[in-house]
A = this chain, B = another copy of it.
Amino acid sequence: MTASPPDSTPDPHMSDALPPCEQHVRQYAAVRNAHETELLEDYVELIGDLLKYQGEARSADIAARMGVSQATVSKTVTRLKSQGLVDSQPYRSLFLTEKGEAMAEMARKRHAIVLQFLRTLGVSDSTARIDAEGMEHHVSRETLEAMERFTREHCRG
C-alpha cells in the first residue's frame, strides 16, 4: 500500500513538507547543473587571479593552490581549452580567451559579493573564505542581489 499520500496540498504554510514533484526535480537538476561548471569556473577564476597578481598562470601554481597533482591540472586544462575558455601553447603559461575572461570576471565578482556578505553577517574571515568557495556556485542572481543589498545596508565602512 502507498500509505495514503497527503498529496496535492499546495498549502502556503506547509513550507517544510515535500515540495511538489516537478519543483523538487528542478531543485536537484539545478544542483547537478551547477556541479558541471563548478570546477571549470574555479579553474578559470584562479587562472584569472594568477594572471592578475603574478603576471602568469603556470600549471604548477594551479596544482599547488588547488592541492591536486599536475597531471590532474593538465587534463582539466585540456577540457578548458576544448570548451574555448583557455588558450595555451604546450609547456607555456596559460591565458584566458574572451569567453574565459568573461567567466572569470563573473566568478570573481560573485565570489567577492558572497565573501563580503558572509563577513558582514559576522562570520570569521577564514570560515567565510571556505564557505564562500563552496557556496558561490549555488547562488542565483536573485540571491546575489539580496546579498549585495544586505551588505550595502549593514557594512560598516
Contacts and interface: CB of A to CB of B under 8 A. Distances in A.
Interface of A: 2-6, 15-19, 21, 23-31, 34-35, 42, 49-50, 53-56, 64-68, 112, 115, 118, 121-131, 133-135, 137-140, 142-143, 146-147, 149-150
23 contacts: A2-B54, A15-B125, A17-B53, A18-B53, A19-B129, A24-B66, A25-B65, A27-B133, A28-B133, A30-B130, A30-B133, A31-B133, A31-B134, A34-B134, A118-B143, A122-B146, A123-B142, A124-B142, A127-B140, A131-B140, A134-B138, A135-B135, A135-B139
Nearest to A17: B53
Nearest to A50: B18
